[in-house]
Structure 1
Amino acid sequence: MKFIVRWTGKPSAQQPAIERFMKTGGNPPDSVTQLGRWHAIGEFSGVAIVEATDTSGLAAWLLQWGDLFSFTVCPALSDEELGAALAAHQTASK
């Protein structure tokens, strides 16, 4: 399953976050595949699209950064996946 992960840095955490990112690369554990990650210019925030078969690896990754960032995570669908869900919904609604 794919997830949208958004983060916002805590104001006092910018320097520790920079140091940790430069040291670790911020990569998720092996059980989570990062499909893409983007950082907002001029803000202490960003977004990543990841894929995981369960949420335990995702939770472990976010807990590693929870002292520096707040996160929101939600399931994500591609256009094709959403189209299939909408078609099924239209069929069921008739």
Structure 2
Amino acid sequence: MLFMVIEHFDQARVKDIYRRFHERGRMTPEGLTYVDSWISADLGRCFQVMECDDVSLLQEWVLEWGDLARFEIVPLASSKATAAAVKKHL
């Protein structure tokens, strides 16, 4: 399953976040796959698409970074799958 992970950064800690990333990597547990990410222009948020079948893997990963960021995690459905589901009700 795909998830949009929105990381909210304290902008004063952005260098700390990138320092940890460069030293330790993404620190994702086995089974949690990074897909892609985007950073807001003000460096206040990171939007990541992650993939996994076990939500507890996301929780484990959040615990690795929770001292530097606040997380919002949204389960995603593809536009194609959603359109097919909605079409049944039209």
Gaps of 5+ in 1: none
| 1:1-94 matches, cutoff 5 A | 1-88=1-88, 90=89
CA distance in 1 between partners of 2:35 and 2:9 (Å): 21
TM-score normalised by L of structure 2: 0.85
Q: Which has the larger radius of gyration?
A: 1
TM-score normalised by L of structure 1: 0.82
The one-letter code of the counterpart of 1:26 is R
Gaps of 5+ in 2: none
The number of aligned residues is 90
4+ long deviations beyond 4 Å: none
Q: Compute the RMSD of aligned alpha carbons.
A: 1.7
Percent identity between matched residues is 27
